[in-house]
Amino acid sequence: MKIDPEVKNRLKQLLKREVEQKNKMVVIKSAYQLDKNEIDMVFRALPEFSGMSYETIIEPEVLAGVIVQQGSKIYDLSLSGQLKSLYNKIYEID
Amino acid sequence: MKLIDEYLKTIERELGASKIDLKSSEQGVVTEIKDGVIILQGLDNAAYGELLELDNNCLAYVIDLSDENVGAIVLGDYLSIRSGSKAKALGRSLSIPVADELLGRIVDPLGAPLDNGVKIKTDLYFSVEKVAPGVVAREAVSVPVQTGIKAIDSLIPIGRGQRELIIGDRGTGKTTIAVDTILNQKSENMICVYCAIGQKNSKVAGVAELLKKNYAMDYTIIVSASASDSAAAQYLAPYSASAIAEYFMSKGKDVLVVYDDLTKHAWAYRQISLILRRPAGREAYPGDVFYLHSRLLERACRVDKKHGGGSITALPIIETLEGDVSAYIPTNVISITDGQIVLDVDLFNAGIKPAVNVGLSVSRVGGNAQTKAMKQVAGKLKLDLAQYRDMAAFSQFEGELDEETKKLLNRGAKITQILKQNKNRPYELAEQVVVIWAASKGYLDSLPLHEVDVWETKLISDLRLRKKNLIDSINKNKILDEKMEKEIGKTIEENIENGK
């Protein structure tokens, strides 16, 4: 099937815009549903994200705390992340 | 119990130092896994040469940044990585632990021990990729590397800080020359690094055994990425070896690095590049295969006193096919280095070992570093050999030869004979000087060719026994005066007389 280059180009641009939009979105992962107050606290702690649109995802593996992600940038403030780094540290001490 | 308490205390102390900090990191997701190479999405702000940490605690090294993807080579077990694994950028480049403890050890390209020994304990890490010292920090080569091989020290002298290529077909004794040079550094105040790239494990074990047996491991480090290691490890090995050498150079030491061999290094890099879909050039090597070796060998240098005064001498090895030194990789490396030692299959098969092809081998800077004593005796040697080569080719067709030509041929044959040397038997400077002096002065002209070997062994043991002062003085002062020459002449005459 032949695709009109014009259409292809448009589709590409659309996809690009969509990805960009998605990357601008701040994703907050937590073990339970955060209330408005708690989300405000997260944004106060990370002023660079303030004013951006966000979505929350519930992930029980986080255990406690939050993982804040925007695009490829990530703040790991979760208990699971801390446990993992502890595990690595103990492994390295000899 | 006490042990556990102590262990817990160490952990407590280590953990006390760390605290939760509000630091962002870059994250990506593995989308493709190919032989030792992974392609990731995300990592928008990752840098070239940055380290990544994968889910299975494996490290990866970013070497490709394209529009949408990031390509990285995996340092370690890439078989346990799953598609969809998360990767975290660590924000630092690849570096390896360096310490004096490395001496006598066999390590992999990441500095982890391969010899069942303890981990290298140090707080000092040296970057694997480093820009070579600039023009200002450098100094001309002035001190020789004594290889202990007569043919090389006399005709193709190597200086500390030089890059001398050893090139030849398989099985012509390339590694032997390099290892013999390491063996001869026992009393030369040099640190040696032997870097095996894509070699058989058995060969590396053999080299390690040989060095250990000759007490050469005391000042040697072996960096090994064998043929069964990943292409990533083979690609990194010479740079790691160079980083180790730079550590010792930073302490003002003279270091000798052997890269055995760079042909396999180029193969490993070609494999990685093809997997990353970089455009393939001649013989499917990527466009930057020249830079691959030039940036490595450029790190060999002699720095001036202000910058520590150490040096790195590089002996890269290249394997040719059917003696073709004009193939792609060989010509590249020949043009980068300060000269080459060409080993010839025909010479090897004719029993001339080391099989150095004196006509094709050169040393572009080593002459300045040659000791005075050697310079005195070697000048004549070169001329005699060059004339001999011309005549030898010519005389094959000629039945009748005049006296002069016969004399030249005889002299040439004797010189070729004395330049032969058994492997793993390095010669001291004085031994070399005396033997070569005898040949170039014509003392051997009357001796039958097959007796030269016996004569040489006997002369050296004689000198050692009776003329120890003379030997010591040549070794120490590195010059040959008239009085000495007379004394040597007398000894040789007596020696030949007694032998009859």
**Tens of pLDDT, residues B323-336:** 999 999 999 999 99
Q: Which residue of B has its CA nearest to A83?
A: B20
- The DSSP string of B182-207 is HHTTTTTTEEEEEEEES--HHHHHHH
- Active-site residue B364, yes or no? yes
pLDDT in tens, A34-68: 898 988 888 888 888 888 888 899 989 889 889 99
Whether residue B107 is predicted with pLDDT greater than 80 in this model: the reply is yes
Whether residue B160 is predicted with pLDDT greater than 70 in this model: the reply is yes
- Separation CA B181–CA B160 (nearest Å): 13
Whether residue A3 is predicted with pLDDT greater than 90 in this model: the reply is no
Q: B343 forms bridges with which residues in the sheet?
A: B168, B356
CB-count burial class (<10 Å; 0-12, 13-18, 19+) for B15: middle
Residue among B181, B362, B155, B339 at smallest CA distance from B256: B181
Q: How confident is the model at residue A94 (pLDDT cuts 50, 70, 90)?
A: low
Residue B1 falls inside a structural domain: no
Q: B341 with B233, same domain? A: yes
∠ at Cα B140 (B130, B253), nearest 5°? Answer: 55
Here the tokens at position B380 are 């004549």
Q: B350 with B396, same domain? A: no
Residue A61 falls inside a structural domain: yes
- A29: domain CATH number? 3.40.30
- Separation CA B324–CA B458 (nearest Å): 40
The total of other beta-carbon atoms located within 10 Å of residue B469's CB is: 9
Q: Are residues B303 and B311 in contact, defined by beta-carbon separation less than 8 angstroms?
A: yes
- Separation CA A12–CA B205 (nearest Å): 56
Residue B219 falls inside a structural domain: yes
State how beta strands A73-78 and B24-34 pair. Answer: antiparallel
Point out the domain boundary residue: B44, B66, B93.
Answer: B93
Q: E strand or H helix at B497, and its extent?
A: helix B482-499
Here the tokens at position B64 are 């490709």
Residue B20 falls inside a structural domain: no
Residue A11 falls inside a structural domain: no
Cβ pair B57:A72 closer than 8 A: no
pLDDT in tens, B186-217: 989 999 999 999 999 999 999 999 999 999 99
pTM given for the model:
0.89
Residue B10 falls inside a structural domain: no
Q: Which of residues 21-80 of A touch B (CB under 8 A)?
A: 23, 45-46, 69, 71-77
Whose tokens are 């940055």? That residue is: B50
Of B11, B20, B44, the CB nearest to A93: B11
Of A45, A82, A89, the CB nearest to B14: A89
Q: Are residues B419 and B439 in contact, defined by beta-carbon separation less than 8 angstroms?
A: no
Whether residue B19 is predicted with pLDDT greater than 70 in this model: the reply is no
Q: Which residue of B has its CA nearest to A23?
A: B42
Residue B458 falls inside a structural domain: yes
Residue among B362, B358, B330, B356 at smallest CA distance from B261: B330
Q: How many structural domains does chain A have?
A: 1
Q: B53 with B111, same domain? A: no
Q: How many structural domains does chain B have?
A: 3
Q: Are residues B12 and B30 in contact, defined by beta-carbon separation less than 8 angstroms?
A: no
Residue B202 falls inside a structural domain: yes
Here the tokens at position B332 are 């590249």
Whether residue B21 is predicted with pLDDT greater than 70 in this model: the reply is no
pLDDT in tens, B395-423: 777 667 788 888 888 999 999 999 999 99
Residue among B185, B329, B189, B213 at smallest CA distance from B266: B329
Whole-number pLDDT of residue B20 = 63
Q: Is the dihedral of CA B427, B431, B433, B438 positive or negative?
A: negative
pLDDT in tens, B213-257: 999 999 999 999 999 999 999 999 999 999 999 999 999 999 999
Q: What is the largest CA-CA distance in chain A?
A: 63
Q: Closest Cα of chain B to A70: distance in Å?
A: 10
- Separation CA A21–CA B315 (nearest Å): 55
Whose tokens are 């010509």? That residue is: B331
Catalytic residue among B364, B389, B425, B464: B364
Residue A77 falls inside a structural domain: yes
Q: Are residues B322 and B335 in contact, defined by beta-carbon separation less than 8 angstroms?
A: no
Here the tokens at position A77 are 């403030």
Q: How confident is the model at residue B500 (pLDDT cuts 50, 70, 90)?
A: low
Which range of residues forms the domain containing residue A46? Answer: 24-92
Residue A72 falls inside a structural domain: yes
Residue B11 falls inside a structural domain: no
Point out the domain boundary residue: B45, B64, B93.
Answer: B93
Chain B residue numbers with beta carbons less than 8 Å from the beta carbon of A88 are: 57
Q: B125 with B85, same domain? A: no
Here the tokens at position B148 are 């202990």
Average pLDDT in chain B? 91
Which amino acid does the sequence have at B333?
A: V
Q: B414 with B309, same domain? A: no
For testing contact with chain A, the best of B18, B20, B86 (most A CBs within 10 A): B20
pLDDT in tens, B163-188: 999 999 999 999 999 999 999 999 89
The total of other beta-carbon atoms located within 10 Å of residue B285's CB is: 20
Q: B119 with B59, same domain? A: no
CB-count burial class (<10 Å; 0-12, 13-18, 19+) for B358: buried
Q: B78 with B190, same domain? A: no
- B154: domain CATH number? 3.40.50.300
Mean pLDDT on B420-431: 92
The total of other beta-carbon atoms located within 10 Å of residue A21's CB is: 10
Q: What are phi and psi of A71, to 5 degrees?
A: 60, -130
Which range of residues forms the domain containing residue B331? Answer: 97-370
Chain B residue numbers with beta carbons less than 8 Å from the beta carbon of A91 are: 57
Whether residue B3 is predicted with pLDDT greater than 90 in this model: the reply is no
Residue A75 falls inside a structural domain: yes
- B386: domain CATH number? 1.20.150.20
Q: Are residues B307 and B253 in contact, defined by beta-carbon separation less than 8 angstroms?
A: no
In the A/B pair of chains, how many CB contacts fall below 8 A?
A: 45
User: What is the 3-class SS of A24-79, one letter each residue?
Assistant: HCEEEEECCCCCHHHHHHHHHHCHHHCCCCEEEEECHHHCCEEEEEECCEEEEEEH
Residue among B264, B254, B262 at smallest CA distance from B161: B254
Whole-number pLDDT of residue B18 = 64
